[in-house]
């Protein structure tokens, strides 16, 4: 049995694809109403038009869901600490596969570090890469990175979680995988803002390239292998999220650039991650100019036009 914590778009999509490949899946949702809707109607507002297979059973009992040997976590990153803290069992030996993308703004920790901190006996892994929930739920071809520090557990998880439409590449570099997934959201906001402001696609390509450079710089500071960043979890996801209006982070940036109201109800992980990265970059002395300016723009300390001018006015340097 596999459990998925978080019945948002991504958690539900993963539950669908795993159930379609024959797995029994327990899907934890916070609200009893959401559980009832999933179990009775087999539909969810998070994935309109998708019928949930009978092999998915929704529950609002978090401790029951967390008792599975493999537990995928797809709640928003800023709620991860609260969710793990509510689980009373130590989860010793449980394979906790983190599917959320971000950095905890209060602690500065990534999702695997947060998990290791709160559930030290569990085995954390990361599932990340370019994948919109709607694509996964429709069974469209998708490839992700599965990262686990223990190579044998990583191999077992790769076999367990891969499906005919979901191809998984394996790595032991959890730091590179989680930071690639977290940091690309910040760059996607920058790219959306750039297009929304009318700065053009050449400027976006420059932001993606220099954004990738700073993502790699911070990840390497934490010991990541730069090759991980060139894989699904870094470059792959950066390309998807910085170029598609299906991305909430990109759309958030677009709205800022167009001076339209932003959707405050959407899960836009890059906003809090930009704040977390700005704190980290200042504390560690790692140069992260695009992420820092995204923080300024998202907190309304500067306009998109001022942000672009500030980036262009930086001193000239070697590539």
Ligand X SMILES: NC(=O)C1=CN([C@@H]2O[C@H](COP(=O)(O)OP(=O)(O)OC[C@H]3O[C@@H](n4cnc5c(N)ncnc54)[C@H](O)[C@@H]3O)[C@@H](O)[C@H]2O)C=CC1
Q: Was 82 annotated as part of a binding site?
A: no
Q: Helix crossing, 248-258 with 289-298: angle to 10°?
A: 70
- What is the pairing mode between strands 142-148 and 166-171? parallel
Q: Which one of residues 6, 8, 124, 130 is an interface residue with ligand 13P (CB under 6 A)?
A: 130
237 binds, among ligand 13P, ligand X, none (CB under 5 to 8 A by kind): ligand 13P
Distance, in Å, from the CA atom of 296 to the CA atom of 293, rounded to the nearest integer, reads: 5
- Asked about 184 being catalytic, the answer comes back as yes
Task: Identify which of residues 8 and 180 has a Cβ nearer to ligand X in the complex.
Answer: 8
- Establish whether 237 is an annotated binding residue: yes
Residue 75 binding target from ligand X, ligand 13P, none, CB below 5 to 8 Å by type: ligand X
Backbone angles phi, psi at 17, to 5 degrees: -70, -35
Task: Give the long-range contacts of residues 31-34, CB within 8 A, separation 24 or more.
Answer: 31/60, 32/60, 34/7, 34/58, 34/60
Q: The tokens 């001193």 sit on which residue?
A: 315
Contact flag: residue 272 with ligand 13P (CB under 6 A):
no
- Choose one: 20-28, 67-75, 145-153, 246-254; the region binding ligand 13P (CB under 6 A): 246-254
In 3D, which of 72, 61, 87, 97 has the Cα closest to residue 8? 72
Residue 249 binding partner per list ligand 13P, ligand X, none, with a CB distance cut-off of 5 to 8 Å that depends on partner kind: ligand 13P
DSSP tag of 233: I
In whole angstroms, give the CA distance from residue 34 to residue 15. 15
Q: In the complex, which residues of this chain contact ligand X (CB under 6 A)?
A: 6-11, 30, 46, 74-77, 79, 82-83, 99-102, 131-133, 267, 269
Confirm if 37 and 56 have CB atoms less than 8 A apart. Answer: no
Decide if residue 241 touches ligand 13P (CB under 6 A).
yes
Query: Residue 129 annotated as binding?
Result: yes
Tokens 């297979």 map to which residue?
53
Q: Minimal distance in Å, beta carbon 20 to ligand X? A: 17
Q: Which is nearer to ligand X, 102 or 180 (CB)?
A: 102
Q: Quick one: which segment of 124-132, 192-200, 224-232, 285-293 binds ligand 13P (CB under 6 A)?
A: 124-132
Q: Which residues are annotated as a binding site for substrate?
A: 101, 248-249
Catalytic center residues:
184
User: Which positions lie near ligand 13P, rule CB under 6 A?
Assistant: 101, 130-132, 185, 188, 237, 240-241, 247-249, 269
């Amino acid at each position: 049995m596999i459990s998925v914590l978080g019945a948002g778009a991504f958690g539900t999509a993963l539950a669908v694809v795993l159930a379609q490949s024959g797995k029994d899946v327990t899907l934890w949702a916070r609200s009893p109403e959401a559980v009832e809707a999933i179990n009775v109607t087999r539909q969810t507002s998070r994935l309109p038009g998708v019928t949930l297979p009978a092999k998915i059973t929704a529950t609002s009992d978090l401790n029951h869901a967390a008792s599975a040997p493999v537990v995928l976590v797809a709640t928003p990153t800023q709620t991860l600490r609260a969710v793990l803290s509510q689980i009373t069992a130590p989860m010793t030996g449980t394979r906790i596969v983190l599917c959320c993308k971000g950095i905890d703004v209060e602690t500065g920790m990534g999702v695997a570090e947060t998990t290791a901190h709160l559930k030290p006996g569990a085995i954390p892994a990361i599932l990340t890469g370019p994948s919109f929930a709607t694509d996964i739920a429709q069974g469209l071809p998708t490839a992700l990175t599965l990262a686990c520090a223990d190579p044998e557990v990583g191999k077992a998880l790769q076999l367990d979680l891969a499906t005919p439409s979901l191809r998984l590449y394996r790595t032991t570099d959890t730091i590179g995988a989680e930071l690639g997934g977290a940091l690309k959201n910040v760059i996607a906001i920058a790219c959306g803002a750039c297009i929304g402001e009318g700065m053009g696609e050449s400027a976006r390509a420059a932001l993606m390239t220099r954004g990738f450079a700073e993502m790699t710089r911070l990840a390497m500071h934490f010991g990541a292998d730069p090759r991980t960043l060139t894989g699904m979890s870094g470059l792959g996801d950066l390309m998807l999220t910085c170029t598609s209006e299906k991305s909430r982070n990109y759309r958030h940036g677009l709205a800022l650039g167009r001076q339209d109201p932003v959707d405050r109800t959407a899960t836009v992980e890059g906003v809090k991650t930009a704040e977390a990265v700005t704190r980290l970059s200042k504390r560690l002395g790692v140069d992260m100019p695009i992420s820092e300016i995204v923080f300024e723009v998202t907190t309304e300390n500067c306009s998109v036009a001022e942000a672009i001018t500030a980036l262009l006015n930086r001193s000239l340097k070697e590539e």
